Amino acid sequence: MRHQLEVIIFGTSTRAGRNFDIALLVLILASVVVVMIDSVPHIHVAYEDIFWKCEIFFTAVFTAEYVTRIWCTQHRRAYLLSFWGVIDLLAILPTYIAILMPEAAPLVVVRLLRVVRVFRILRLMSLFTELNEILSALRNTARSIFVFLIMVMVVVVVFACVMYVIEGADSGFESIPMSIYWAVVTITTVGYGDLVPQTPAGRFVAGFGMLVGYSIIAVPTAIITRELWERINQRQSPDPPLPWNCPVCAKQGHSVDALHCKYCGSELDVPHDIRERAQKA
């Protein structure tokens, strides 16, 4: 029984596992929609009882799922302390707090964290590997992007100081921090319009800052795109990945003969039949 539930909950190669993921995805999205609609004042007043009954139902289902995950996995402590374990707990905890302490009812908005659990289901659509690729690309380019952001900060301060000298307090640039706010808004091409240069020289500097802003958008995009392209090329392999998610971090993309997760190092505990089926594929 325990082995069968483990295959259904953590595996993706069986029909039961896919059906479980689909049902869980529908319930997660439905619960998030209910919370969002319930936040509309006049709808909340009219259908408060219905929304509360729906919330009790969702919480009961998610609680049963959470307890089952704890019971199935052989790494209970690791799961409970993992990111997904905490998210699963936060998905059900607010409702129990609202029942025990009605004065803490506003905290139920934390239930919207359930939408984060959708990422757990992305493996059903073979998208979890792509998500890991994006996160890995961001980690690998973090140093380059950090250096670039430092350069951007220097440019912002320079633009702010120039505008402070050119425009001054008469145009609303009362201080360098206020000018830095204007520079950030201008260079990021947001342009709120609450602080506008009045002199021809100030407008020229503002126009130049807007042009610089486009390059600021392009440079990090190019850095990340290059890294993603290289990783996609390296990932091309004739061997299909193991259809099994790590019970701790929920990531997949492991080789067929892998014994430990290549992301967190936890033991995969892949059932023999699933590994054998993957080796024959």
139-235 CATH pick, 3.40.47.10, 1.10.287.70, 3.40.190.10, 1.10.3720.10: 1.10.287.70
- Report whether 13 contacts 20 (CB < 8 A): no
- Report whether 202 contacts 163 (CB < 8 A): yes
CATH code of domain 2-122: 1.20.120
For the whole model, what pTM was predicted? 0.55
Give the residue range(s) of CATH 1.20.120 domains in the chain.
Answer: 2-122
**For the chain, how are helix, strand and coil distributed in percent, rounded to 5?**
75, 0, 25
Residue 47: partners with Cβ closer than 8 Å, 6 or more residues away: 38
What torsion do the CA atoms of 172, 175, 180, 183 make, to the nearest 10 degrees?
Answer: 30
Residue 144: its pLDDT value, please?
A: 84
**Among 56-65, 142-151, 195-204, 260-269, which stretch is predicted with the lowest mean pLDDT?**
260-269
- Report whether 69 contacts 79 (CB < 8 A): yes
143-187 pLDDT, tens per residue?
888 888 898 899 999 999 999 999 988 888 989 999 999 999 988
The rounded distance, in Å, linking the Cα atoms of 268 and 78 is 12
Question: Which is nearest to 127 in space by CA: 239, 21, 233?
Answer: 21
Give the residue range(s) of CATH 1.10.287.70 domains in the chain.
Answer: 139-235
64-89 pLDDT, tens per residue?
988 988 888 877 888 888 887 888 88
